[in-house]
Amino acid sequence: MPVEAADTLAAKDLVGIARLTPGEIQLILDTAEEFLEIARRPIKKVPTLRGRTVVNLFMEPSTRTRFSFEVAEKRLSADTLNFSASGSSVSKGETLIDTARNLMAMAPDFIVMRHPDSGAPHRLAALVPASIINGGDGINEHPTQALLDAFTMRKHLGHLDGLKVVIAGDIRHSRVARSNAFLLTKMGAEVRFAAPASLMPVAVDAIGVTPFYRLEPALEDADVVMMLRIQRERQGNMNFPSVREYFDFFGLTPERLKAAAPHALVMHPGPINRGVEIDSRVADGRRSVILEQVTNGVAIRMAVLYLLAGGHGE
């Protein structure tokens, strides 16, 4: 049963999927369809945010998310300012209040924020009048990623409700997994987390997800298989023995993918670790929509900026 889209977004910020209603999610997805059209035009710029200022505050390294937001902002004709942890005085030890004061001196209308600490955008949102858009906070949320993933699923499969979506990898440290779980369960999909328990958060039933400790049973009849990056850097700690063993038991291979539905999509938020969580034959295969996710990311971020600026649905 399709969800009725809301007319507007209730909050001034987008800090997490957890605070959105299904109607608001529907509104963002529907609005992004319009902006996807713009990407197909020869002149991709619209005057929607002319005269508005967006600060991109990235206190954690990021290239793809930051580029995606910047493209979205430029296509909406916004003025943009970039702050990153390495390129400014923003650093560990400076309090969020100081950061807020500094930023407000520039009177931005929007702050797109990536931060290593869970909840930082939520706290900043309560301190400043600008609209905060969370570009990833700690292990908590990455709402625009979940929105673009859902947008991509809907484009290919026509709907979200009833879909069986597998999310596999380092779930415990993944804000992408969490935002996707919030979004998909709100929209009526079934979410399965697949990982060894050492990479799984505790009590995932609390967020409406079913845990699987082996990949194969999770893949049964799946409509979507989303693989998360396994960070080689984490190898030194105690979560799993080796990359080789991880791939042996949890890597997505063409053979394992056979258990999923014939139309199943393969997704990945990037950057991909070939041969660690995903076999190149799958990553580059015909079911992969990984590059399309990137294109859709711009449309979703344009839609979010437009709606937070006071825009309405059609």
Partner 1 sequence: MSNLLIRNGRVVDPSQSLDQGMDILIEDGMIARVDEKIEANEDVPVLDAAGLVVAPGFIDIHVHLREPGYEYKETIATGSAAAVAGGFTAVCCMPNTKPVNDDPSITRFIMERGAAVGLARIYPIGAVSKGEKGEELAEIGEMVRQGAVAVSDDGRPVMNAELMRRALEYSRSFEIPVAAHEEDLNLSAGGSMHEGPVATRIGIRGIPSAAEEVMVARDILLAELTGGHLHLCHLSTKGSLDLVRMAKRKGLNVTCEVTPHHFTLSDEDLAASNYNPNWKMNPPLRPKSDVEAVLNAIYDGTADAIVTDHAPHHQDEKDLDFSEAPFGIAGLETAVSLALDRLVGQRVIGLSQLVRLMSTRPAELYHLPGGTLRVGSPADLTLLDLRSRVTVDPSAFRSKSRNTPFAGMTLRGRPAATIVGGKVVWEAEQGSPS
Please give the residue ranges that form the binding site for partner 1 (CB under 8 A): 18, 92-93, 95-97, 115-120, 122-123, 126, 137-141, 175, 178, 201-207
Shortest distance (Å) from residue 291 CB to partner 1: 28
Name which of 154 and 178 has its Cβ closer to partner 1. 178
DSSP 24-59: HHHHHHHHHHHHHHHHTSSS----TTTT-EEEEEES
* Pick from 6, 36, 40: nearest CA to 301: 36
| CB within 8 Å of 56: residues ≥ 6 apart | 66, 69, 70, 73, 80, 81, 82, 83, 112, 135
Provide the token pair at 23: 């109607």
Shortest distance (Å) from residue 31 CB to partner 1: 26
Name which of 39 and 96 has its Cβ closer to partner 1. 96
Name which of 1 and 202 has its Cβ closer to partner 1. 202
Shortest distance (Å) from residue 34 CB to partner 1: 31
| CB within 8 Å of 87: residues ≥ 6 apart | none
Sign of CA dihedral 251, 257, 260, 266: positive
Shortest distance (Å) from residue 120 CB to partner 1: 6
Provide the token pair at 131: 């609209």
Name which of 43 and 206 has its Cβ closer to partner 1. 206
Shortest distance (Å) from residue 95 CB to partner 1: 4
- As a whole number of Å, the end-to-end CA separation of the chain is 20
Name which of 49 and 57 has its Cβ closer to partner 1. 57
